[in-house]
Structure 1
């Protein structure tokens, strides 16, 4: 028979486990951002203030940890897109979100690539589809208001922003990514050229 004390102990253990998981994801985000997807898992555990055994209980391998970190960040981007969909200006909302997506993609593109190369079967959210859905919601709204070209697709935008992220390393011209994003935005808002 389970006593009240046993239930309280179980609740405390579950709360500790949740807190440890949150600490591990936060530390992993920092370490992966600094050192890339091959960063030391022991360093992640150290920064989270837990032992390696605790890390492996929550995340049995590197891919599950990468998935958790990316899933957490993608969820934040999608929540931001949802909030922006209610703003007054559809073009400002799209511009703001594309800037946030570019910052995310520049910081995390190595993680996404590592997941696809190492083990595409790791369970977790379909991050690419979540991003496409977020972009589609904002783009469609901008198109309905006449603020964006009707011939663009969410996939077009995601590929363009991803291309900017992959081609602009952080250590080089720090303003280049913003200039390229501005060019993309000019194209988003410009009417398509007629064939002649």
Structure 2
């Protein structure tokens, strides 16, 4: 991609992130184009559908979350790394309404645009869990699939308005079920 095209793409994603944060996954493509000060055709050239735009936004966020797991693996104790990762996942879920349902569908669909990003999140979660298990601070009767499932369940639950205010409390309950010592 040419440098100017990459800059335009990044600008569109940044503006789209703001609009989607304000209005959720049903944000108007016209509003995004207007705020980005481009024509709708320009936006649609980069992102032909709302779903394509939302997938691009999710991929960038999931890639950043996955990079963060690498930092946690080397910078903190295994149990703290796992807890931090899980907290960041909750923050991601709270900030990306509708994302968890898309991820759950993409998780087992290699044709999905989100498949690779979901696989990376799954792998990062599993590595952090195994590290905590090896240290004796996480349950040994669960695996990466179990952890990913719990993360997805919590993400789905806090996507529902009645549960969003209880996200931290629900996180604490799950954390205490995963770790062998108090969260």
The answer as to whether partners of 1:102 and 1:162 remain within 8 angstroms in 2 is no
Runs of 4+ in 1 over 4 A off after TM superposition: 114-117, 169-175
1:148 counterpart SS class: coil
Alignment check: 8 A CA contact 1:94 1:138 kept? yes
Secondary structure at the counterpart of residue 143 of structure 1: helix
User: Residue 138 in 1 paired to residue 122 in 2?
Assistant: no
State the Cα distance separating 1:172 from its structure 2 match: 4.4
Alignment of 1:47-196 (within 5 A): 47-113=35-101, 116=105, 121=111, 123=113, 125-169=115-159, 172=162, 175-190=165-180
Give the deviation of 1:171 after TM superposition.
5.1
5+ residue gaps, structure 1, are 1-12, 192-196
Out of 165-174 and 177-186, give the one that drifted further.
Answer: 165-174
Aligned counterpart, 1:17: 5
Contact between 2:100 and 2:155, CA under 8 Å: does it hold in 1? no
Deviations 1:148-188 (A, max 9, x none): 11111122222222222222357546651111111111111
Contact 1:63–1:122 at 8 Å: present in 2 too? no
Question: In structure 2, what is the Cα distance between the partners aligned to 1:114 and 1:125?
Answer: 10
Which secondary structure state, in structure 2, belongs to the residue aligned with residue 60 of structure 1?
coil
Seen in structure 2, the aligned counterparts of structure 1 residues 170 and 18 have a Cα distance that, compared at 3 Å, is same
User: Deviation at 1:36?
Assistant: 2.0
What are structure 2's unaligned runs of at least 5 residues? Answer: none
* TM-score in terms of structure 1 length: 0.79
Kept after mapping to 2: 8 A contact 1:37/1:114: no
Based on CA coordinates, which of the two structures has the bigger radius of gyration? 1
Task: Decide whether aligned partners of structure 1 residues 106 and 17 sit closer, same or farther in structure 2, where only a CA change above 3 A counts.
Answer: same
Deviates more, 1:105-114 or 1:143-152: 105-114
Q: Which shifted more, 32-41 or 122-131? A: 122-131
Aligned length: 177
Cα distance change, pair 124–42 in 1 and its aligned pair in 2 (3 A): same
What is the alpha-carbon root mean square deviation over aligned residues? 2.5
